[in-house]
A and B are shown apart, each in its own frame.
Chain A
Amino acid sequence: MTNNKLLLIAVLIAAFMGLSGCTYLFSGEDSLPAVHPEKVEGKNVQCSECHSDDIIPSIGKPFSTFNHNAPFIKDHAVFATAGNNGQLCTICHSTEFCLDCHATRPAIEPTKKYGDNPEFEFTHRGDYRTRHQMDGTINPVSCYKCHGRGNNEVCRECHR
């Protein structure tokens, strides 16, 4: 049963490698630029301020989908993963940016690293060693996303 699934993954990867031999099977559309051509700064970036209501080539979604409003920030996981959106994020965001919150072994709490930026969007503010009990009791599955399979060395001090 599981071996079949394993096989399926292997076949997918092998198929990909095979396909890369025959270039005509690729979409042939221009790739996204490696770096966003214009420097964009500040919170709540509105893509649609500079871009028209077009569909982003090779992404297939309108620019406005990526406007960094509250729902986008909250649900950014969906946009970081569906289709090839992941590559869209990297035109503006460095590796460090995503890992500030998602590293499996961070150096320190993200809100301390950005203690000079009160706009930094992260829940761990104040003495989170004690305050976390509240958030953790109400919504433990949100903690699992970052502390469930990695980044839990610090938790082991008190939780086994």
Chain B
Amino acid sequence: MKKIIGFCCLALSMVSTSAMAVELSTLNATTFAEAEKVSTPGFDKKTEARFIQYVDLNAAKLGVDNLSLDAYGWGRWGVNTGTATGDLSSGYIMYRTPKSNGYVKLGRFYDFNVTGVNQLDGLGLGADLGAGLRLTGFAGKPVEVSELRGRAVYGGTLSFKVPKYIDLGASAVREDGLPTYNANGSIRKDFQELVGIKGWASPHKIVELSGDATYNTVTSGWGEQRYNILVRTTDYLTLNGEYQQYRLNDYFATSTIPDLFSATDKNYKLFGGGLNFIVKDTTISGFYRRYRNDIEGNTNQYGAQVRSLFGSTVASIRYMRVDPTEALNAPIPSYHQIYAYLTMALTEKLHGDISGLVDLYDHKVDRVNRDYAVKTGGSLSYHITEHFRVSGELSYSNDIETSDSMSGSLWLRYHI
């Protein structure tokens, strides 16, 4: 907490000392209020309400060109519980070099370069070197999200590219003080360490191969491997194929909720393919996936979406089928899912939409005497000015465990 305040003060002082030269490039402020009336058969009806305020700002030119401040956070107030919580998700100062895509950032930020998603208070660096090389790195204290958080996290990537043809990268990340687990749930080591490789290659203009793999150095195994092939016959028709493989002993060993995602010597695979086709104002996409889950059993999943533009109106319908072919433990429900929506400009300033989500189960779902679940809703947005918008939404649902539930939400969105 002290740190957060520290960062805010630092940030604010940076802004105020150079106030003359600050240029606010973007500010997104969203106020959200929601009230829900949920009724679960067998329980009392309950009404819940909450307010959330989000602020995301980016100030460029903090006195010096290329020096910027970026901050994003939220605060929430639960009306029923009377509790207030909040989070400064990100808040850092960054200097970007005019050449070589270099940057240095200091503060709280997320790194998406190495395996996984890491949030830290610390330092981040990166730049393009000569000969197609690029180096990035970060080090700092992981941000505490629950009782389980490490003492220090650091990592980096080195990548190499041949423009148009190849982009290959290697990464490493280590978090001290966060355990790596054994399959029996005991702690194997008091740190986590992952090494990753990733790649993209385009041997011909129409073909792109990409993928990544992660090696857990503590458990000595490849936790994750993902490979994709994409064929872009034209800009309008793309076909893709995928294969993924996970060794749960290595992949789930770094979980912070080890009873839910527990290391076991079982494996998990999936393969599939899809297509994306654009004809004029209509996009058609379809996919098929086969999951091979050594713990729960195998499942086929397929679906398609058609999305069309008619002037300023968008209409879309998506169908999906989940079809388990075997269940090793509890039965896995087989079902059809349909999601459809329509968005339109009613007047220049007033926009509206309606949407519906329906699940149709082949058999009644476990514990619930229902063979379908449905949620429908609609919203209206009024653009008061170019930068300021108010919207409201109402929705109704008869979901798996709830029935006749209603919710209403209101947004004030300010954006420059």
A residues at B contact (CB < 8 Å): 1-2, 5-6, 8-10, 12-13, 15-17, 19-20, 25-32, 34-35, 43-44, 46, 48, 53, 55, 58, 60-62, 64-65, 67, 69-71, 74-75, 77-84, 86-87, 94-96, 98-99, 102-105, 107-108, 112-113, 115-119, 125-127, 129-131, 134, 137-141, 143-153, 155-156, 159-160
Contacts and interface: CB of A to CB of B under 8 A. Distances in A.
Interface residues of B, number: 147
A62 B335 CA distance: 40
13 contacts: A20-B125, A26-B100, A44-B307, A61-B200, A65-B208, A78-B210, A94-B26, A112-B409, A115-B377, A116-B391, A119-B316, A127-B399, A130-B400
Contacts of A113: 30, 32, 52, 54
Interface in B322-336: 322, 324, 330, 332-333, 335
B7 interface: no
B121 interface: no
Contacts of B156: 9, 12-13, 16
B135 A12 contact: yes
Contacts of A112: 32, 34, 409
B158 A12 contact: yes
Given A61-B167, A131-B399, A81 B145 contact: no
Contacts of A159: 257, 259-260
Nearest to A105: B87
Contacts of A83: 134, 159, 161, 167, 169, 200
Nearest to A10: B154
B179 to A, nearest CB: 12
A34 B60 contact: yes
B58 A94 contact: yes
B28 A69 contact: no
Given A20-B127, A108-B32, A13 B154 contact: yes
Contacts of A105: 87, 89, 145
A34 B65 CA distance: 11
A125 to B, nearest CB: 5
Contacts of B211: 78
B128 A29 contact: yes
